[in-house]
Amino acid sequence: MASTGSKLRPLGAHHQPNCTRTHQIGCLFLVFTTFFLTRLFDHSFTPCDLPVEQVRTSQDLVQVGPQSWPVRGYGSQLFLKIYVYDVEEIDGLKALLYGRDGKITEDACLKGQWGTQLKVKIHKLLKKSRYRTRKKEEADLFFVPSYVKCVRMMGGLNDKEINQTYVKVISQMPYFRLSGGRNHIFVFPSGAGAHLFKSWATYINRSIILTPEGDRTDKRDTSAFNTWKDIIIPGNVDDGMSKAGAPVVQPLPLSKRKYLANYLGRAQGKSDRLKLIAVATQFPNKLECPDLKFSGPDKLGRKEYFEHLRNAKFCLAPRGESSWTLRFYESYFVECVPVILSDQAELPFQNVIDYSQISIKWPSSRIGPQLLQYLESISDEDIEAIIARGRQVRCLWVYASDSAPCSAMRGIMWELQRKVRQFHQSAETFWLHNGSFVNRNLVEFSKWELPVPLP
């Protein structure tokens, strides 16, 4: 029985404790604290607020030797299918490789200057590639082989014939016409670049161009290189230095190198090169700049060339006929820090390589004694660190199989994969409701007759 002091509550009512102002303030504080801590906890795990290095996981990157390609934009594995046109498949293609009489050989081109070697090497490696397909209908990309720089140098074709032959060849490629050339690959590694094909801007301005040159506007009104569709590739370093195993010339310890820097090349009337020669005359004990002979009885052999190159801590790489020089790549194999003296230079695989960590770029407008003063200020410890980082990436300059863990070809394959499109829009191809492609006369693609009209 309830005491007389207690108050009766209506049936179903709940006890309501007294709620003072202190209780209210405490509740508000608890709500605010809970909200703040929750936001802080969630915020601390938001990837956008952390440096990229901390939020990338192994699933975000694809390991290629010592380098990691980002999955975004590339995919987690190579799935390319590349069709390589056969030399006998298209009338005229043989002439672009072996000349009008078919007498120029691959070996002759491999012995030529560096530009022709790249064309031959890339072609031969693609023919053996595991990503090659024999079926055009399943190909992502199409490779058009040619050795025109070599053929031109050896008198196999003149400029007019090269131009006419290219047009003749691509007019026999229905898949080129279907895409407007967007899925076709051309290699132009020589000093003239794509300008070897005089009408390149009319016919292959949408195609993928592989080239070590990112700038050819010094003598022409326009550059054939487009940063959106084209790919910068490494220059071709002598096999004796770049292949696995002991190179023909071993790097020297820094303490045994005679010079601070060197420039091994001809002046060719180029202002930047003439400046270096002048500085070498003023400071002969710091900058080696010999008068090299590349022909005649005093011709410098490849072994002697690399012995010169390894004898300095810094290898200077000014522009020549174009914005890049092979010396940049060669320096990594004698473990000499490359110094780029070419303001417009484009470098390969920039999505995975931080060039500020493995080289120096100095303004070409400031070539002079101040350059040597700056290089002298760099400690041997810092030089060794730059060389060590360069040693990790130089495998990407080696033209070996794309099956190798790290090679120039494997890097090129990753870059090509990023260029693959699901759809190729051409101004001269049309499609119907059932997915079939037709030309302006509504003729289905499978019935297109050769030669195919070109732009």
Average pLDDT over residues 409-416: 96
| H or E segment and range at residue 165 | helix 159-170
pLDDT classification of 116: cutoffs 50, 70, 90: low
Report pLDDT for 34.
52
Question: Residue 79 above 70 pLDDT?
Answer: yes
The CA distances from residue 86 to 141, 176, 178, in Å, are 14, 15, 19
Question: Residue 118 above 70 pLDDT?
Answer: yes
Q: Tokens for 147, please give them.
A: 């050795």
376 vs 150, more confident: 376
Least confident of 146-150, 163-167, 255-259, 424-428: 424-428
Highest mean pLDDT: which of 65-69, 86-90, 342-346, 419-423?
86-90
Sheet holding 360-361, edge to edge: 287-288, 259-262, 312-318, 337-341, 360-361
Give strand pairing partners of 287: 261
Report pLDDT for 125.
96
Report pLDDT for 269.
83
Q: What is the DSSP letter of 444?
A: B
Sign of CA dihedral 154, 160, 163, 168: negative
Q: What is the DSSP letter of 430?
A: E
CATH architecture type of domain 240-398: 3-Layer(aba) Sandwich (3.40)
Rg (CA), the chain: 31
Question: Residue 8 above 60 pLDDT?
Answer: no
Sign of CA dihedral 58, 64, 66, 68: negative
Instruction: Sort 346 into a burial class: Cβ within 10 Å, 0-12 / 13-18 / 19+.
Output: middle
Residue linked to tokens 């863990």: 405
Average pLDDT over residues 256-277: 91
Average pLDDT over residues 356-364: 97
Report pLDDT for 426.
87
Least confident of 1-10, 199-208, 375-384: 1-10
Least confident of 3-17, 107-121, 144-158, 288-302: 3-17
Report pLDDT for 187.
94
pLDDT classification of 45: cutoffs 50, 70, 90: very low
Report pLDDT for 217.
53
Report pLDDT for 14.
40
Mean per-residue pLDDT over the chain, rounded: 85
Q: Tokens for 271, please give them.
A: 């202002």
pLDDT classification of 59: cutoffs 50, 70, 90: low
Average pLDDT over residues 330-339: 97
Report pLDDT for 6.
36
Of all residues in the chain, what percent carry a pLDDT higher than 90?
A: 61
Question: Residue 312 above 90 pLDDT?
Answer: yes
Q: What is the pLDDT of residues 154-164, one digit of tens each?
A: 999 999 999 99
Pairs from 85-93 (Cβ < 8 Å, separation ≥ 24):
85/142, 85/143, 85/144, 85/145, 85/173, 87/145, 90/169, 90/172, 90/173, 91/168, 91/169, 91/172, 92/165, 92/168, 92/169, 92/172, 93/144, 93/145, 93/146, 93/169
Q: Tokens for 291, please give them.
A: 């008068």
Q: How far apart are CA 428 and CA 180, in angstroms?
A: 8
Q: What is the pLDDT of residues 275-289, one digit of tens each?
A: 999 999 999 999 999
Report pLDDT for 144.
97
Average pLDDT over residues 305-326: 90
Average pLDDT over residues 413-440: 91
Question: Residue 11 above 50 pLDDT?
Answer: no
Residue ranges of the chain that CATH labels 3.40.50.2000: 240-398
∠ Cα 94 99 102 (to 5°): 70
Q: Tokens for 92, please give them.
A: 């005229």
Q: What is the pLDDT of residues 199-254, one digit of tens each?
A: 999 999 999 999 988 765 555 567 788 889 999 999 999 999 998 778 999 999 99
Q: Is 215 left (phi over 0), alpha (psi -120 to 50) or beta?
A: beta
Report pLDDT for 61.
84
